[in-house]
Amino acid sequence: MTASAPPDIPCPGRPPAGPPGLLHRLGRWCARHARRVIVVWLLVLVAAFAADRAWGGGYEDEFSLPGTSAQRGADLLEGHGSDLKGVGAQIVLRADDGLAAHRTALDAATARLGRLPGVLTVSGPLSTPGAVSADGGTGYATVRFAANPATFDRSYLAGVDRAVAGLRAERVSVDYGGPLGQLARPAAADGRSEAIGLVTAVVVLLFGFGSVAAAGLPLVTAVAGLAGGLAATARVITCAAIVMTSVFLAFLLSTNVVIKMMALGLGVSVVIDATLVRLLLVPATMYLFGRANWWLPRPLDRILPRLDPEGPDLTRRPESMAVRGPETVS
């Protein structure tokens, strides 16, 4: 009695047979020429920055929305010399004994504000209907500027403070609102909040990947997760990039210039991330890192659970699962 060779039963985890595909060859080439890929990538990055410095335009921060009804109304007001032209900002005033008791100081402050550079008109609270509360203790003055005061240098606030110094000397509370309030707002100290977010992301990725270096790679390259191999994930990455780019570029049909700028920037960034970063830079850097990709301090190695995001390895079949072929009697 002899037994024929068992048939080759494909396993779910076994890679398909056949010659390597284009993406597999691309990943292998990037790994074999890792230093060259990184140097070329850095040269392209430097060239892009140099081109932006040489021919790139500047940022615009204007309240201009061509083609909209709001813009047409603003143009009409501007053309007819209305008091509502320019950019308005409010100065909120509060006095316990009533604003009317400080009329002289209010008139003097209004006159000084009107002499500041870039100021078109100033409307005091006592001369503007509806600008004072029912109890007479709270009101606001409206200052209209030729340009957006939020874009002024912070030194401009010194002149505004001097203009209302007389009111504050009489214990009238003075606060700036609108674009002028944005200029007076202290710079945000976001260092701590960004650090908390970064540490939290690293901890989550540590539990997912079990490695400090591997957890850092998605953060550096802006990739949501580190692919186990380029050939296995590049198709998904490319398809997702095509979908995202198509959605972003569809907003170029909008008549809003701001929306067009955001759509073009996001679309180009996704294309660059899906090509230069994910398909070229990630394989090259991982090859250079080698085993350091999965380095983990021993204390963390003992604490972190053993998680396998891709499931158990099914490429090997235990002997008990071997499939015997048909037996023949000789």
pLDDT for the residue numbered 270: 87
Tell me, what's the pLDDT at 80? 63
- Give the DSSP H/E element, type plus range, for residue 87: strand 87-94
pLDDT at 164: 93
pLDDT digits (tens, 9 = 90+) for 80-129: 655 667 788 999 999 999 999 999 999 999 999 999 999 988 998 988 88
By the 8 A CB rule, do 181 and 89 touch? Answer: yes
Give the pLDDT mean for 226-239.
60
Give the three-state DSSP class for 322: coil
More confident residue, 183 or 258: 183
pLDDT (average), residues 243-260: 86
pLDDT at 269: 87
Tell which wins on pLDDT, 296 or 179: 179
What tokens appear for 324 in the block?
Answer: 């015997």
* Number of residues that make up the chain: 330
Domains and CATH numbers, the chain: 22-56+191-303 (no CATH), 83-184 (3.30.70)
For residue 6, what pLDDT is reported? 42
Give me Rg for the CA atoms of the chain.
33
The answer on pLDDT for 58 being more than 70 is: no
CA angle 190, 192, 194 (to 5 degrees): 65
- pTM, whole model, 2 decimals? 0.45
pLDDT at 223 over 80: no
Task: Confirm if 118 and 152 have CB atoms less than 8 A apart.
Answer: yes
Tokens of 183: 């200029």
Q: Which residue has the higher pLDDT, 197 or 50?
A: 50
pLDDT for 155 beyond 80: yes
In this predicted structure, what is the pLDDT of residue 18?
Answer: 54
Residue 216: pLDDT band with limits 50, 70, 90: very low
Average pLDDT of the chain?
74
Q: What is the pLDDT of residues 206-215, one digit of tens each?
A: 665 555 455 4
**Residue 181 scores a pLDDT above 80:** yes
Residue 311 — very low, low, confident or very high, per pLDDT cuts 50/70/90? low
DSSP 146-181: SS-GGGS-TTHHHHHHHHTHHHHHTT-EEEE-HHHH
